[in-house]
Amino acid sequence: MTSVRELIGSRADGRRVVIKAWVRTKRETKNATFLEINDGSCFSNLQCVFDGDAGAGIATAMEKATTGASVAVGGTLVESPAAGQPVELKADSLEVIGVAPVDSYPLQKKAHSLEFLRGIAHLRPRTNTFGAIARMRNQMAFAVHSFFQERGFNYVHTPIITASDCEGAGEMFQATTLDLDALAKNGGPVDYSKDFFGKKSYLSVSGQLNVETYCMALGKVYTFGPTFRAENSNTTRHLAEFWMIEPEIAFAELPDNMALAEEFVKYLLSWALDRCREDIEFFDKRVQPGLIAMLESVRSSRFAHMTYTDAVKELVAHEEIFEFKPYWGCDLQTEHERYLSETIVKGPVIVTDYPKEIKAFYMRLNDDGKTVRAMDVLVPIIGEIIGGSEREYRYDVLLARIRELGLDEKAYWWYLDLRRFGTAPHAGFGLGFERLMRYVTGIENIRDVIPFPRAVKQAEF
RNA sequence: UCCCCUGUAGCUCAGCUGGCAGAGCAAGUGGCUGUUAACCACUGGGUCCGUGGUUCGAAUCCGCGCGGGGGAGCCA
What ipTM score was computed for the predicted complex, to two decimals? 0.91
pLDDT of residue A39: 95
pLDDT at A169 over 70: no
pLDDT of residue A198: 93
Nucleotide nearest A33 (Cα, C1'): B35
* A44: CB within 7 A of chain B nucleic strand: no
Q: What is the amino acid identity at position A420?
A: R
* A447: CB within 7 A of chain B nucleic strand: yes
Q: For residues A65 and A54, what is the distance between their CA atoms, to the nearest angstrom?
A: 15
- Percent of chain A past pLDDT 90, that is, above it, reads 78
The residue among A269, A343, A279, A344 whose CA lies nearest residue A301 is A269
pLDDT of residue A165: 66
Which class in CATH covers the domain with range A126-170+205-448? alpha beta
CATH of A4-106, one of 3.40.630.30, 3.40.50.2300, 2.40.50.140, 3.40.50.360: 2.40.50.140
* A387: CB within 7 A of chain B nucleic strand: yes
Q: How far apart are the first and last CA of chain A?
A: 30
In angstroms, the CA of A456 and the C1' of B70 are apart by: 16
Ranges in chain A annotated CATH 2.40.50.140: 4-106
* A84: CB within 7 A of chain B nucleic strand: yes
In angstroms, the CA of A118 and the C1' of B13 are apart by: 19
Ranges in chain A annotated CATH 3.30.930.10: 126-170+205-448
HSE-CB of A188 using CA atoms within 13 angstroms: 6
The residue among A309, A306, A436, A429 whose CA lies nearest residue A383 is A436
pLDDT tens digits, one per residue of A7-52: 999 889 889 999 999 999 999 888 899 999 999 999 999 999 998 8
A229, A453 contact by CB (below 8 A): no
pLDDT of residue A315: 92
* A320: CB within 7 A of chain B nucleic strand: no
Amino acid whose CA is nearest the C1' of B69: A115
Nucleotide nearest A116 (Cα, C1'): B11
* A431: CB within 7 A of chain B nucleic strand: yes
